[in-house]
Amino acid sequence: MRWALSLALLVLVILPNFLGSYLLTVFIFIFFYAYLGQAWNLLGGYGGQISLGHAAFVGVGAYTSTYLSMTYKLSPWIGMFIGGAAAALLGGVIGYLGFRFGLRGFYFILLTVAFAEICRLIVSHLEPLGGALGLFITFTGNPWQFQFSDNRSYYYIALGMMLASVAIVGAVERSRMGAYLVAIREDEDASEALGVNAFATKLAAIVLSAFLTGMGGTFYANYLFSLQPNTAFGIPLSVEIILRPIVGGSGTLVGPILGSFILSPLAEVSRAYFARGGLSGVHLIIYGSLLIAVVLFFPRGAYPYLRGLLRRLPRRGAP
């Protein structure tokens, strides 16, 4: 398994030398959404606390680092940590209110959606943040300002972010916190009866998840060179984030990556194809149909199914 992973990593490292501009962009979005999906997976996959407002953390991180860069000339490389900390603070507020009052399931989902909408409305009325029109970043080509003339730089940064998220979530998975999160997901009352501090564990999970997502907001802003409240804090972005681990397999390390490799190319190809024919919203119908198919036929996601299929294959030398 290790040699296969090493080979796959080697292929991804040398791949940009053989890709055109469009395919390079597709891979950048694959890695980026796999990163965001992995950050969500920590809370929603392992902890079972479904959030439909993770776009709020992307928006807070993006606007914080961009505002600091445009106003105080602070490098986004530094601002991304401040943006991540601001998103973690917001995550702590959401987590405290939700978990202290015992909100679960649909009620916790509504809480996360409400905070994302509150953030969107606040930013839309703040003139220093561009108001409803948003912020537009001037391209300078300065790497210190997180700007590159070669798209391959964004490719390697997005790849590094994805690998870093896998390493962080993998470390959590192997830790006591990871075992606590899984126990809470399976039966919170039983885990508390065994001595697990469910409130503190879930709060730590949402803070770490929000921090990672907020750092991704800096990449989001400096790759697109613009920020608008309706997109940075909107429900569609939250859906894009949550679909990757759900389709790939939530609660697994490989799930968000596999889901992103399935959905991101499908989204780009269908959006480009149908937009050319005047059917710009059809890709959303394809998304919905795929999600229905996954829920009906692969309720645990694609990766657990593939893993079980591979285990059933006859091994060399086996009777």
Predicted confidence band of residue 136 (pLDDT cuts 50, 70, 90): very high
Rounded (5°) CA angle 215-217-218: 75
Percent of the chain with pLDDT over 70: 93
**Torsion of Cα atoms, 169 then 246 then 310 then 297, to 10°:** 160
- Segment 84-107 mean pLDDT: 94
Residue 54: CB atoms within 10 Å: 30
Check residues 160 and 308 and name the one with the higher pLDDT: 160
Instruction: Determine the pLDDT at residue 274.
Output: 66
Q: How far, rounded to the nearest angstrom, does the alpha carbon of residue 7 sit from its chain's CA centroid?
A: 25
Distance from C-alpha of 154 to C-alpha of 165, rounded to nearest angstrom: 16
Instruction: Determine the pLDDT at residue 87.
Output: 97
Q: Would you say 230 and 278 are in contact if contact means Cβ atoms under 8 Å apart?
A: no
Tokens of 132: 């409803």
Using only C-alpha atoms, the chain has a radius of gyration, in whole angstroms, of 20
DSSP single-letter state for residue 133? G
Distance from C-alpha of 156 to C-alpha of 12, rounded to nearest angstrom: 9
Distance from C-alpha of 181 to C-alpha of 162, rounded to nearest angstrom: 22
Predicted confidence band of residue 1 (pLDDT cuts 50, 70, 90): low
At 144-169, the pLDDT tens digits run 999 998 899 999 999 999 999 999 99
Name the 3-class secondary structure at 135: strand
β-pair type (135-136, 226-227)? antiparallel
Q: How many residues does the chain have?
A: 319
Instruction: Determine the pLDDT at residue 279.
Output: 65
Instruction: Determine the pLDDT at residue 148.
Output: 93
Instruction: Determine the pLDDT at residue 41.
Output: 96
At 193-243, the pLDDT tens digits run 999 999 999 999 999 999 999 999 999 999 999 999 999 999 989 999 999
- E strands, 7-104, where? none
- Mean of the per-residue pLDDT values for the chain? 90
Task: State yes or no: pLDDT of 308 exceeds 80.
Answer: no
Q: Which residue has the tokens 């397999």?
A: 249
Distance from C-alpha of 241 to C-alpha of 248, rounded to nearest angstrom: 12
Task: State yes or no: pLDDT of 319 exceeds 60.
Answer: no
